[in-house]
Structure 1
Amino acid sequence: MAAGESMTGGAAVSRWIGSANAGYARYAQQELVARFGEVGFQELIPGELFLASIRRSEADVARLLRGNEPVFLRHIHPVQTEFPASRGEEDLLRLQQWLESAGPAISPGDRVGVQARRKPETEYGYTPYAVKEALDRVLTERFAAEPVISGPDKVVSVYMGESSVYAGVSAASDNLSDWNGGMIRFKREDGFISRAKFKLLEAEVRFGLDWSAYSRAVDLGAAPGGWTSLLLERGLRVTAIDPGELDPSLTGHPNLTYHRRKAGEVKMERAAYDLLVSDMSWDPRQSAKLVAEIAPAIRPGGTALMTLKLLRGKPFQSMREVEGILAPALRIVKAKQLFHNRDELTLLLTRPSDS
């Protein structure tokens, strides 16, 4: 039995801290119940962060979530120790002592990230960075591991709550995201057009998109050009369609064709594109209908990536309706509410080869 697991009625019970976008924790919890049956929940940050007790081993939970990743559960990590928070140096000492005893989980040479966060507006006598410094010393001196900030093999996760400190060690792949709490951050670079670009950058990472597999893309609802700009940076030829105006910085780009009109007014050849992207602020059913109508412009086996604005209180119903509208023209490969999505989610789709 792994550290942090207990036995209830002969079955292992593991504990996890789950994260979702603000206001969507209950949907992430519903996803866990659908997969594991009875799950106990304790709220840590209303609508966003929770502690889950699952009647499965850590290994089983991680394996099942990796194989069928939830839509609204953005990040999860195991809780293998919990103790009352002193909010002072004693907490750091207890965390060091716990990590020193977690020997089998960490091996020499492992790349290990320490990810610490605390409940907003909760005062501690130390910072999350102080937690990292204290635990990095244990990683190097006790385990001969390599502390890293990005691309870890394993993660030491620490959450400083209102009255307790929670911690666990896991493979980075078991957390659904190797970013702290799944909160992936990007810098605003020179020439930044809109925050919409962050959504496509995150999708690139989370979906493992290989832009070299595409040469021609069409961007529906492109204005002001956040997604178009990234696709051009990645070397694609882009057809941008929107009655609104693109950012002047894109004017004259040699790989850009711009139609300042509605998508339905633009004639597109069949199988002309490898990739279709859409980030329109429409009702999800309207967005799905438009994308389904234009789907023949994608080559068989090609890809579509679109965001859906969610109707509050009915996200799963919206997803079912959209899936029905898109089929059989497009098949959903993955649906995920990304950190930068807010009240929406991102769909990765493919056009079936026999269509």
Structure 2
Amino acid sequence: MTDSETNAAPPTHRPWLVRIPEIFEGIADSVLQQMGAASSTRLGQDYYLIKTATPAAIRQSEAAKFARWNLPMDHTWPCNAQKMDGFIEKAAQTLLKKFGERNPQGIFIGTLQPTSPDKYYKGLASNLRGRVLQLFPKLAAATVEEQDPTAETLFCLVGKEGLFCGMQSPRASNGLYAGGSKYIDQDAPDTISRAGAKIAEALHYLLLYRPSLKEGSHWIELGACPGGMTSELLARNQRVTAIDRAPLDKRLDGRPGLKFFLEDVAAFQPRAGTLYDALLCDMNGPPEESIEQVIRLSRFLKTGGLVVYTLKVPRIDALDEANELFRVIVSMSKAAGLRLFAQTHLTYNRHEFTLFFETVRK
């Protein structure tokens, strides 16, 4: 061992908040280990406060796909806000002091228990944001959709464990909301299936990387039954060519902008000269088979056309199997001229990931 190695300073560990969906709780330790976590503390529903000397691994390691959201911890305040007098004012003044000169583009505050029926912390988060906005000068982004995905935002999460805050761009955090999730109501009377919420969240997530598709854009949807995603796209004034061996929900009959083909996806052949703006695939079955159909039909996408693909994986009990399947699917897609530019685990995903590709013509 050399003198320089003997006298080398120990690595600096930074505090970081990582959100690992509850469905991956069984492999959370392995995920955090790949991210270089030297320690971890569970917070809220599915958040982990870690210390890591390799924060880049949170976004760049193979384990990154298992983390829905992440944020550097620039300020943590362990406390019981519910039992503290003047918590909102104290917290707001502290945030101004710590972050005012860093000029965040926006300030968004969420809760550590986003699905809890207890509304106390949701109200607290809303009231705290209201007070903070009174103290900060006018911000560039008043709503999450107005954010520049590459500019820094002040994100905060509050819960019974305290207040946890940091500044980072939405793209680096992997979400526009504090915590990363956009709540989609699945209980509306006209809801056909939860898949509608899944594509709605996917399209919102896409704002991290590219503008929304224009109204009238033409989608080809593989395995559309019963039509939850179809319905959501039509509601956004998109055109949809849907294919499935099973019929769509009767409520979609006669909907403007919809063409439905009752046949096997593998047998479907678009008319010569047809070009689509986007392709959507949420098919069940072996991923190696569904991606083959995506690749085959992606030839009918315009240059730069979008592919939203649900990678269905077997029940995940270890990282290696899921990572290997991911590598295979991405490699097949790349060889066919599809460039992966983002992937995430959506709120309504289970043992599956949503992958985003775009066509690259040689």
The 8 Å contact of residues 81 and 166 in structure 1, kept in 2 or not, is answered as yes
- 1:193 alignment partner AA: I
Which residue matches 2:94?
98
Deviation at 1:219, TM superposition (A): 1.0
Partner amino acid, structure 1, of 2:173:
N
| Equivalent pair of 1:45/1:119 in contact (CA under 8 Å) | no
- Work out which of the residue numbers 65, 76, 84 in structure 2 matches 1:81: 76
List per-residue Cα deviations over 1:176-227 (Å, max 9, x = no partner): 2132322211245563322211111111111235322974321111111122
* Alignment correspondent of 1:165: 162
In 1, Cα distance between the equivalents of 2:111 and 2:138? Answer: 18
Percent sequence identity over matched residues?
21
3-state secondary structure, aligned to 1:207: helix
> What value does the CA root-mean-square deviation take over the aligned residues?
3.8
Number of matched residues?
336
316-325 or 83-92, which deviates more: 83-92
- Contact 1:66 / 1:176 at 8 angstroms: preserved in 2? no
Q: Report the Cα offset of residue 338 of structure 1.
A: 1.6
CA contact (8 A) 1:228 1:240 kept: yes
Contact 1:25/1:50 (CA < 8 Å) preserved in 2?
no
Cα distance in 1 for residues equivalent to 2:242 and 2:53: 49
SS of 1:211's partner is coil
- Distance change >3 Å, CA 262–CA 31, structure 1 → 2: same
Distance 2:118 2:270 in 1: 58
Paired residues of 1:271 and 1:296 also in contact (CA < 8 A): no
Alignment of 1:1-355 (within 5 A): 9=9, 11-24=11-24, 34=34, 38-44=36-42, 48-55=46-53, 65=59, 70-79=64-73, 80-85=75-80, 87-90=82-85, 92=87, 95-96=91-92, 98-105=94-101, 107=103, 111-118=106-113, 127-134=121-128, 136-141=130-135, 143-144=136-137, 150-151=144-145, 154-161=153-160, 164-171=161-168, 173=170, 174-188=172-186, 191-208=190-207, 210-212=212-214, 215-269=217-271, 272-274=274-276, 275-311=278-314, 312-313=316-317, 314-329=321-336, 330-354=338-362
Counterparts of 1:51 and 1:271 in 2: how far apart (Å)?
53
- Looking at structure 2, the residues matched to 305 and 138 of structure 1 have their Cα atoms a distance apart, in angstroms, of 37
Does the 8 Å CA contact 1:119/1:160 hold for their aligned counterparts?
A: no
CA offset at residue 68 of structure 1? 11
Distance 1:39 1:122 in 2: 31
Per the alignment, residue 4 of structure 2 pairs with none
Contact 2:79 2:163 (8 Å CA) reproduced = no
Q: Which runs of 5+ in 1 are unaligned?
A: 1-7
Aligned with 1:180: secondary structure? coil
CA contact (8 A) 2:108 2:129 kept: no
Q: CA, structure 1 residues 61+101, in 2 after alignment: closer, same or farther (shift >3 Å)?
A: farther
Q: Distance in 2 between matches of 1:75 and 1:244?
A: 36
Question: Which one-letter code corresponds to 1:315 in the other structure?
Answer: A
Q: Structure 2 vs 1, CA of residues 157 and 215 (structure 1 numbering), >3 Å: closer, same or farther?
A: closer
C-alpha deviation, 1:353, in angstroms? 0.8
Deviations 1:45-80 (A, max 9, x none): 599321111226xxx759x84999932211122332
With over 3 angstroms needed to count, the CA separation of the structure-2 counterparts of 1:28 and 1:155, relative to structure 1, is farther
State the distance in 2 between where 1:69 and 1:298 align.
Answer: 31
Instruction: State the 1:317 CA deviation.
Output: 1.7
Deviation at 1:19, TM superposition (A): 0.8
* Structure 2 Cα separation of the partners of residues 238 and 69 of structure 1: 34
The amino acid across from 2:195 in the alignment is A
What's the TM-score once normalised by structure 1's chain length? 0.78
Distance between the aligned counterparts of 2:137 and 2:44, measured in 1? 39
- Of 66-75 and 183-192, deviating more is 66-75
Offset from partner CA, 1:116-158 (integer Å, 9 cap, x none): 334988999x6342354246335424x3456956456733413
1:233 deviation in Å? 3.2
**Residue 122 and residue 290 in structure 1: after superposition, are their counterparts in 2 closer, same or farther (change >3 A)?**
closer
* Structure 2: distance between partners of 1:310 and 1:294: 22
Counterparts in 2 of 1:10 and 1:213: CA distance versus 1, 3 Å:
farther
User: Counterparts of 1:318 and 1:167 in 2: how far apart (Å)?
Assistant: 35
CA change 1:264–1:346 in 2 (3 A) is: same
* 39-48 vs 168-177, which moves further: 39-48
CA contact (8 A) 1:244 1:260 kept: yes
Give 2:157's aligned amino acid.
V
Supply the distance in 1 between the matched residues of 2:45 and 2:127 (Cα, whole angstroms): 30
Contact 1:25 1:73 in 2 (8 A): no
**Alignment-derived partner of residue 3 in structure 2:** none
In structure 2, what is the Cα distance between the partners aligned to 1:194 and 1:339? 14
